[in-house]
Structure 1
Amino acid sequence: MAITLSKGQKVSLTKGNPGLKHIVVGLGWDTNKYDGGFDFDLDSAAFLLDENGKVNADTDFVFYNNLKHSSGAVEHLGDNLTGEGDGDDEQVKVDLSLVPQNISKIAFTVTIHEALERRQNFGQVSNSYVRVIDEDTNQELLNYELGEDFSIETAIVVCEIYRHNGEWKFNALGSGFEGGLEALCKNFGVNI
């Protein structure tokens, strides 16, 4: 049975799931009524961060133009350009055993592509969620619904997984940013 989390909650991923190695982080969303003439293209990404919350190199940013981390630990499964259909809109696979030791957490984000030009924001997005699946058993371990707390934001740090005392934990963040992907990259130390 999956654990349902609220914003700000933290839970251990590995303590209750000994031997957990391969996870899939699935992100999904719907758009509210919108007649601006453009599709909503939401993009997920993963930032592999050190203990200071920064990338060690620009390649620690995994997204639609850099689908796989050099360590093999994190792989983005591809860009969904419209968010149509049921289920996860985008997924990121993580092999916890391959995460380099200098990486203390992985932040998962969602941004709106060309949000400024298209006059789009997360106030126009509904039913957004993240879930973590044990890839080896296909069992959903936890889910977190972001709710409707956003208005002008164009980027969200949805959640993070992080190391703590030899275990991997999950933190339900739901932190909004203005400035889209560029703001997130600057926040995490990626050169753009």
Structure 2
Amino acid sequence: MGINLAKGQRIDLTKTNPGLTKAIIGLGWDTNRYHGGNDFDLDACAFLTDANSRVINDSDFIFYNNLVHSSGGVEHTGDNRTGEGDGDDEQIKIDFSKIPPSIHRIAITVTIHDAEARNQNFGQVSNAFVRVVDEESGREILRFDLGEDFSVETAIVVCELYRHNGDWKFNAVGSGFAGGLASLCRNFGLEV
């Protein structure tokens, strides 16, 4: 069992786990019973940013329509449109050895597809978590349970992986946004 983190905590990934080059970022959630008659489709995304937390190229935004970064360092394993079942609902694979030096942060986010049209928000989502797994050994390194702190938000920055003195660290962010994916994209410097 890995380390359980609270919102705002930071932890070393590569320094305290020597040899860690490939990690799986697993994200999961459940939806509450009442959901207005529409299915919930939550989508994980990764924003690969520079030192100023800005995405330089559209190709540095990894999501269900752009599954693999050109470096091969970040790969979204595919869209789960229902979130049914136990365990990870969506996964993003990271190969730290392939991340270009220009990338300083990888922000991992989750949004609700068509949230406004479907009248859905993260107040209707429970048991949301992110975990980091060593892909080679299958060992869970850490887990961050997001809790039930959300109400009207339609997008969440779940966590960030960031470089610090040549090593990669994990930041448990858990910050909500209204305005869905478009709002997140603008936050990271992308034109919508």
TM value normalised by structure 1: 0.99
Deviation at 1:35, TM superposition (A): 4.2
* Residues 24-64 of structure 1: CA deviation (Å, up to 9, x unaligned): 00000000111411110000000000000001101100000
Does structure 1 conserve the Cα–Cα contact (< 8 Å) formed by 2:26 and 2:91? Answer: yes
What aligned pairs does 1:36-51 form with structure 2 within 5 A after superposition? 36-51=36-51
- Which one-letter code corresponds to 1:103 in the other structure? I
- Residue 11 of structure 1 pairs with residue 11 of structure 2: yes
What aligned pairs does 1:76-155 form with structure 2 within 5 A after superposition? 76-155=76-155
Mapped partners of 2:59, 2:178: distance in 1: 23
Mapped partners of 2:53, 2:68: distance in 1: 20
Q: Runs ≥4 in structure 1, deviation > 2 angstroms? A: none
Mapped partners of 2:17, 2:115: distance in 1: 39
Pairs aligned (count): 192
Secondary structure at the counterpart of residue 100 of structure 2: coil
- Which one-letter code corresponds to 2:128 in the other structure? S
- Residue 190 of structure 1 pairs with residue 190 of structure 2: yes
Mapped partners of 2:34, 2:183: distance in 1: 25
* Residues 71-117 of structure 1: CA deviation (Å, up to 9, x unaligned): 10000000000100000000000000000000001000000000000
- Which one-letter code corresponds to 1:169 in the other structure? K
Secondary structure at the counterpart of residue 116 of structure 1: helix
What aligned pairs does 1:62-77 form with structure 2 within 5 A after superposition? 62-77=62-77
Unaligned runs of 5+ in 2: none
Deviation at 1:189, TM superposition (A): 1.0
Deviation at 1:16, TM superposition (A): 1.3
Aligned residues with identical type, % of pairs: 66
Mapped partners of 1:65, 1:141: distance in 2: 29
